[in-house]
Amino acid sequence: MSAIRQFRLPVGTAQAVREIAVEQRDGGAPGIFWLGGFRSDIMGSKAMALDALGAEHALAVTRFDYSGHGVSGGDFTDGTISRWLEEAEAVFATTTGPQIIVGSSMGGWIALLLVRAMLRRGDTRVQGMVLIAPAVDMTHELIEQKLSAEETNALETQGYVDRPSQYSDDPYRYTQALLEDGKQHLLLGTVIETGCPVVVLQGGQDPDVPQAHAIKLVTHLLHDPVTLTLIPDGDHRLSRPEDLERLRDAVLGLVENPR
């Protein structure tokens, strides 16, 4: 079995520097590059399923924790899309050769932002993308627009709002900085270019990213091959054994049929 290299990658400068925890499995191309969701970490079931897939097929796999997540440095409440995108770009730069990007929930948004930044630099290493319940423009579309008047007032007066989550005993904290920064990265409303095939896996029973949101995203991917798989009884996490098997199949399909 191929070895896993664990290391810390400094990202940012001066007071903004933070150490990002990275795990990379040695292997061949195309590599698999994992982008987790909001409050997730590299030990989650989908991340580990991809690592196992890499081990099984001798493919390189890169996983990391955003700052304020998992075992990476930094304060979670300092997190913004700009900050986490900067970290994704820095970690991606440690990879070599073609890659398949797999992004879950918020990671799906960051995946699209990452490939856009790469294409602008003329970097075409992304061979394909798998987006799981992609929460594109989530700060505006899926959070801010759903705040109650009371929550909006709390956000304005204290700089954050706490909302209960079914995935944690503790509420999720959304800061005003996160929501304001997200406005710089909105994708919906314009054509989204990826330069590669895109597979979207979406649960029909997802309470956080409705299936209509995934369909809306697909209507913006006009120039690249797109496959939308709707899983009628699937939830947001799509981490059941049958969901993980679909994820494996989607990634292997892009490995075996590049571009």
Can you list the domains of the chain with their CATH numbers?
4-136+190-254 (3.40.50.1820)
Determine the Cα–Cα distance for residues 31 and 232; give it in Å rounded to an integer.
Answer: 30
Helix axes 45-57, 241-256, angle to 10 degrees: 40
In 3D space, the residue among 12, 31, 33 whose CA is nearest the CA of residue 22 turns out to be: 33
Q: Which parts of the chain register pLDDT below 50?
A: none
Q: Tell me what the pLDDT averaged over the chain comes to.
A: 95
CA 25 to chain centre: 19
Strands 226-231 and 198-203: what pairing? Answer: parallel
Q: In 10 A of CB 28, how many CB atoms?
A: 13
CA 120 to chain centre: 20
Q: Tokens 């996983």 map to which residue?
A: 63
SS3 163: strand
Determine the Cα–Cα distance for residues 128 and 44; give it in Å rounded to an integer.
Answer: 22
Beta strands in the chain (DSSP E): 4-11, 18-25, 28-35, 59-64, 99-104, 126-132, 160-163, 172-175, 198-203, 226-231
Please state the φ and ψ torsions of residue 42, each to the nearest 5 degrees: -75, -5
The 8-class DSSP code of residue 185 comes to G
> Per this entry, what is the length of the chain?
259
Helix axes 81-92, 106-120, angle to 10 degrees: 60
Q: Is 140 exposed, middle or buried (0-12, 13-18, 19+ CB in 10 A)?
A: middle
Tokens, residue 20: 């990002």
Strands 99-104 and 198-203: what pairing? Answer: unpaired
Predicted confidence at residue 168, as pLDDT, reads: 82
Tokens, residue 48: 């580990």
